[in-house]
Amino acid sequence: MGPLGHGAAAKLVNNMMLMGFWQTLKEALTLGRAAGLSAETMLDLLEGSPAASPAFKSRLPVIRGESDDVGFALSGVVKDARVITGLAEQLGVSLPAITASLASFVEADALGFGDADLATMVRLAAEGQSKEGDDA
């Protein structure tokens, strides 16, 4: 990867892309719910769309509430997001999408889902249980 620390920085960059994806999915489901779409309709649509990344497809059972399997714990995302935002602060870089993502994962963690899979944050929005979902 290069000099000392570049591998860790590259890992954070990759994690950021996934955190941004999950946050955007949460917001899309929240908007769809507010517009009257069911979670099932939206997830079925997205599953067959270009937005259906391998990460999305592998976590659909969790998002749909059909599985409690844990690929990566939600509390681990909170830890990683805090490392990312801390580094960004040190470097003077603004990360509004990751800041929003961190808030969503912290909310789900505070609701007692820290040991659940990270996709539980999205499931809560699909079910209208997140803060944004409650506003819908």
Which CATH class for the 7-135 domain?
mainly alpha
Which residue type is seen at 107? E
| Average pLDDT by stretches of 10, the chain with 136 residues | 78 94 96 95 96 94 96 96 96 96 96 97 91 50
Instruction: Report CA-CA distances (Å) from 103 to 18, 38, 98.
Output: 15, 24, 8
Query: What does residue 67 show for φ and ψ, rounded to 5 degrees?
Result: -150, 145
The pLDDT score that the predictor gives to residue 130 is 78
C-alpha 15/C-alpha 64 separation (Å) is: 23
The pLDDT score that the predictor gives to residue 133 is 44
Handedness of CA 106, 79, 11, 61 (dihedral sign): negative
The pLDDT score that the predictor gives to residue 100 is 96
Which among 134, 64, 78 has a CA at the least distance from the CA of 106? 78
The pLDDT score that the predictor gives to residue 132 is 60
